[in-house]
Every structure is written in C-alpha cells, then in structure tokens.
C-alpha cells in the first residue's frame, strides 16, 4: 500500500488551519487572558505559525520543514498546558493533536516528495 504525498500534505493543511483557529478561539472566546491584553496574546501565539505559511501553502519543501519544526513549539505548549491547567486540558489536547498532524503530515510529505540523490 502506497500513501500519496498529497494526502499527507492535506493532513498538514488541516492541522495548520485547525491549530490557527484553535489559537484564535482559545485566546478570544474560550478562555481570554486576564493578565495580558488579548491582542498581545494573539500576536505571541499565532505569529510563529504564520511565518512559513505562504511557502507552505505553495508546497515549498523548505517552508514545510520549517512549519514542522515550529509545530513542535505548539506540541510542547500543549503538553505543558495539559499537565498544569485542568480547566483548559481539552483545548491543550486538541493543540497537541493538531500540532502532531502538522509535524507528521509535513515531515512525511517532504520525505515522499523530496528529490533523491
């Protein structure tokens, strides 16, 4: 059985837009921060995800690799948040799932479409 590279790319795309939506909702509607301004929290949490977005959507392999690396930051944040804060544990577990979708989808997409030497 052979997996098509574009299937893996779409897994990463779904994870990307799901994580983007989760971070926007988490900081505005679900549990807005009380100590910091909402705009600052959105800027801090969403900006790293947006840096490789253009290249990722153009299926640039270097941008896909960078997005896979950046998704590990969100994986770590989700693990820490799930351990520390029981009230936001479902959101943190969803963040873990979506970041792993990005990481494995982008990594295997690069592996299956990369040039062989």
How far apart are alpha carbons 18 and 5 in whole angstroms?
A: 20
User: Quick one: pLDDT at residue 116?
Assistant: 54
Provide CB contacts within 8 A for 77, sequence distance 6+.
92, 95
What is the per-residue pLDDT across 20-54, written as a single tens digit (0 to 9) for each? 999 999 999 988 888 889 999 999 999 999 999 99
What is the per-residue pLDDT across 60-113, written as a single tens digit (0 to 9) for each? 999 999 999 999 999 999 999 999 999 999 999 999 999 999 999 999 999 999
How far is the first Cα of the chain from the last one, in angstroms, to the nearest whole number?
Answer: 24
User: Quick one: pLDDT at residue 32?
Assistant: 86
How far apart are alpha carbons 112 and 68 in whole angstroms?
A: 15
Residue 26 CB-half CA count within 13 A: 23
């Amino acid at each position: 059985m052979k997996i098509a590279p574009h299937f893996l790319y779409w897994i990463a795309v779904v994870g990307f837009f799901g994580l983007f939506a989760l971070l926007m909702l988490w900081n505005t509607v679900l549990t807005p921060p009380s100590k910091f301004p909402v705009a600052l929290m959105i800027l801090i949490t969403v900006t790293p995800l947006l840096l490789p977005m253009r290249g990722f959507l153009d299926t640039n392999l270097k941008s896909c690799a960078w997005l896979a690396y950046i998704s590990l930051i969100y994986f770590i944040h989700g693990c820490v948040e799930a351990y520390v804060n029981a009230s936001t544990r479902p959101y943190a577990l969803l963040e873990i799932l979506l970041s792993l979708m990005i990481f494995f989808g982008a990594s295997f997409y690069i592996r299956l479409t990369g040039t062989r030497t």
